[in-house]
A and B are shown apart, each in its own frame.
Chain A
């Protein structure tokens, strides 16, 4: 009897304590975003380092520190294959997640991301045209595939935006935006198939290999070339974080608070198309990273876009590194395309968000 009572008392104590902790967490959440950001960045940086270590360690043959020091083959494997690939996953993941966070704010649509808006599809079509007509060709040192993919992504974003925006009020219709994105993806996909059909055998195989989407890379050369385009894009997005935060609330409100709406929109378009174009040209369409990651950040650190954008950047890198590690190891031999893993994880998240959003607004 006595024991029973003490257990009950302890239980009640514990419940109160956990309740207090919960309300404390809630209070922390409500303190300034300014204080939340440094803590969030620190946590996510630690997470990123851990993810990178895990991704570097696992693989077809796990690499130990000892053999790295002694064995020449292991060293080549590590520095020429595994390290570039993990870095590539990080760069692509960070890029896609940041673009997702920016597009969601810009269109005031939680379901927006490069894949759902058809931007990836447009980029893919552009890239496959370039591959069919000679991928190796360069314009002033820049691979043609990058440029074609950038153009495709930009065109897709422009079309989707024009279709979804009403002429008078300037309201972006959320349903129309996503439908236009889906249809653009279909059109782009058939375009890719037709090009594959007419391209010669080796080119077609090249396109097929690339559409499946893989982060396979040898050496650092490609990474450097990508970063020349990506870094300016990243900087623009981070510079626009404040404007995007205001735009996420309401376009008219943002304008009345001094945001130059047209200029911000153009800059975010250009940066997003560039980033998506380059990542698609290299890794194929890797979907839903831009959807899952920003929403995970929102659940963890709140809705402020000035927090969501840089945090998505870091978490996106961790996420794709781990997803790629999983893709490399899950089968034992051979590997799955990483896009299949992200889609498998992202599809259900999309559906959950869709259900949640319908409570707020009619699509």
Chain B
């Protein structure tokens, strides 16, 4: 077993893992990404490379502060890497016009704190704005798509409620519906299930699988919910201190020793039961 380094220093983490297959099958690809939030601030992403295959469900895991959110923002084009490049469908992401990108990649942030009492439907309709000209409003077609998006996350009953009155979990569902209304090829979700109850968590994963199987939609989600990963997910990327610590299928990554290193916790256990993997820390 490897000696566990207890903090993120500038120490070498050993060779960084080259994750995922490259080439034609990758829809979203990161090539040696580096990022810091400002000049002189510590790098939060340090040389990450990964490839998310088209039509797969991938998870990004790692301890708090390991760079997951920064990485997913880089992959969504919300942050620009200091070094390295993001490739989407064979083209550099930064060469894609933002509104065109928004029709292909949808991103859901961890939290959205809207202060204006817009209705949930109005928020979901903003997902149609990449398709709408500057001085146009959404038409009946857009409204039908928005309504379908709300139905698919089991939140149609919230349509006319004000988002400022909704609970954290309900807001997450609305944000997710907004992303679905964008009709993207690729979904990037930052901890979409953190405030969801048991039923909606399972529902979310079921829906992502259905999107993958029926419409070939690729999704990458940041999550701490390791119970959800096996058997639904195809790929897992594990970050540690801004570098890729492990990558592979759930069967390859969800092991005591790998998770112990990723979470810097020797008490992590992963066990198979009922055809899935259970993970906990003792």
Contact = CB atoms under 8 A, between A and B. Distances in A.
A246 B117 contact: no
Contacts of A33: 122, 137-138
A30 B113 contact: no
B182 A32 contact: no
Nearest to B129: A257
B122 A242 contact: no
Interface string B111-130: 01111111101110011011
A253 B109 contact: yes
Interface string B94-108: 000111111001110
B20 to A, nearest CB: 23
A265 interface: no
Given A30-B121, A258-B129, A252 B98 contact: no
A353 to B, nearest CB: 11
Contact of B137 (A34, A168, A248): A34
A239 B78 CA distance: 23
A234 to B, nearest CB: 15
Contacts of A250: 109, 112-114
A260 interface: yes
A306 B134 CA distance: 10
B102 A360 contact: no
Interface in B37-71: 37-38, 41
Contacts of A302: 122
B46 to A, nearest CB: 17
Contacts of B178: 253
Nearest to A254: B126
A110 interface: yes
Contacts of B159: 30
A37 interface: yes
A260 B160 CA distance: 29
Contact of B98 (A34, A174, A258, A357): A258
Given A252-B78, A259-B98, A360-B115, A168 B37 contact: yes
A76 interface: no
A248 B107 CA distance: 17
B164 interface: yes
Contacts of A324: none
A174 B113 CA distance: 12
Contact of A30 (B77, B112, B116, B119): B119
Interface in A57-75: none
Nearest to A260: B98
Contact of B118 (A257, A303, A357): A303
B143 interface: yes
A258 B112 contact: no
Contacts of B77: 256
Interface residues of A, number: 37
B155 to A, nearest CB: 15
B173 interface: no
Given A32-B143, A250-B109, A257 B137 contact: no
A303 B122 contact: yes
Interface in A299-326: 302-304, 306
Interface in B12-40: 37-38
A108 interface: yes
Contacts of A168: 37-38, 41
A253 B117 CA distance: 16
B139 interface: yes
A168 B73 CA distance: 13
Interface in A226-270: 239, 242, 245-246, 248-250, 252-253, 255-260
Contacts of B37: 167-168
B81 interface: no
Most buried by A among B38, B99, B126, B136: B126
Most buried by B among A242, A257, A357: A257
A256 B107 contact: yes
Nearest to A168: B37
B158 to A, nearest CB: 12
A361 B165 CA distance: 11
A245 B102 CA distance: 16
A256 B137 contact: no
A110 B164 CA distance: 13
Contact of A249 (B97, B106, B123): B123
Nearest to B163: A249
B137 A30 contact: no
Most buried by A among B112, B137, B143: B137
Given A35-B137, A108-B116, A255-B98, 15 more contacts: A33-B122, A33-B138, A105-B116, A108-B113, A167-B37, A168-B38, A246-B126, A249-B118, A252-B78, A252-B107, A252-B109, A256-B76, A256-B102, A257-B99, A257-B130
Interface of A: 26, 30, 32-35, 37, 105, 108-110, 167-168, 174, 239, 242, 245-246, 248-250, 252-253, 255-260, 298, 302-304, 306, 357, 360-361
28 contacts: A32-B143, A33-B138, A34-B137, A108-B114, A109-B115, A174-B115, A242-B129, A242-B132, A242-B134, A245-B129, A246-B129, A250-B109, A250-B114, A252-B73, A252-B78, A253-B109, A253-B126, A253-B178, A256-B109, A257-B99, A257-B102, A257-B129, A258-B100, A258-B101, A258-B102, A260-B98, A357-B115, A360-B115
Interface of B: 37-38, 41, 73, 76-78, 97-102, 105-107, 109, 112-119, 121-123, 126-127, 129-130, 132, 134-139, 143, 159-160, 164, 175, 178, 182
The 3 residue pairs across chains A and B that have the minimum distance between CB atoms? A34-B137, A258-B99, A258-B102
